[in-house]
Amino acid sequence: MFSGIVEEAATVVALEKDQSNLNISLKCSFTNELEIDQSISHNGVCLTVVSIDGDVYTVTAIKETLDISNLGLLEVGSKVNLERSMMMNGRLDGHIVQGHVDQTAICKDVTEVGGSWYFTFEYEFDKEKAAKGYMTVDKGSVTVNGVSLTVVEPTDNSFKVAIIPYTYEHTNFHQIKVGSVVNLEFDIIGKYISRLLNLNIE
């Protein structure tokens, strides 16, 4: 479980295809604190550390993950938002994030306003998925590339988020531009409520 508060934007240093899987090697400042089998959120995708070599560690993304996320678009030099799993004795500063990406979205607009930035994202609308909670609501929570954010001006298939300078500089939001593909995880609480409302209990 994660909170959507990104610790660092790590750098991809190597990509290696292994049949339908992709081994992703990244360099970050806390590699010496990692352990094999540890779970880390990568742009909002929960992946397991499979090897550690100095200040570089490697995770493996399977085909299903590559198909529904933006990890298959990574290149050497790409920045990836990292968050280690939440400690249960700590504060939940963002919202409950599972690290299970639901789908991708495309950045449609970036506007700077008084030192902050408004990003508009558009995703494919699916009526059945929306009925299961795969949607955004005004002032609700959404995870974009692993970052916990508050929704502004949602429509059936789009929403805006406001990014403060700290988040812009310390995550990969500074690399997101019009046309960029990002990972989305919708709020798990909304999914449970939608599921309960749609249950046919006799």
pLDDT at 91 over 70: no
Question: What is the b/e burial string over 176-192, where b = at least 16 CB atoms within 10 angstroms of the residue's CB?
Answer: beeebebbbbbbbebbe
Between CA 156 and CA 154 the distance in angstroms is: 7
Q: Is the pLDDT of residue 65 over 90?
A: yes
103-113 β-sheet, strand order: 147-150, 141-144, 181-186, 103-113, 116-122, 158-163
Higher pLDDT, 106 or 95: 106
pTM of the predicted protein model:
0.87
| Residue-level pLDDT at 169 | 93
Counting DSSP H helices and E strands in the chain, the numbers are 4, 12
Looking at the predicted structure, is the pLDDT value of residue 86 above 90?
Answer: no
| CA separation, residue 141 to residues 84, 95, 100, 162 (Å) | 20, 7, 15, 12
Digit-coded pLDDT (tens) for 6-37: 999 999 999 999 999 999 999 999 999 999 99
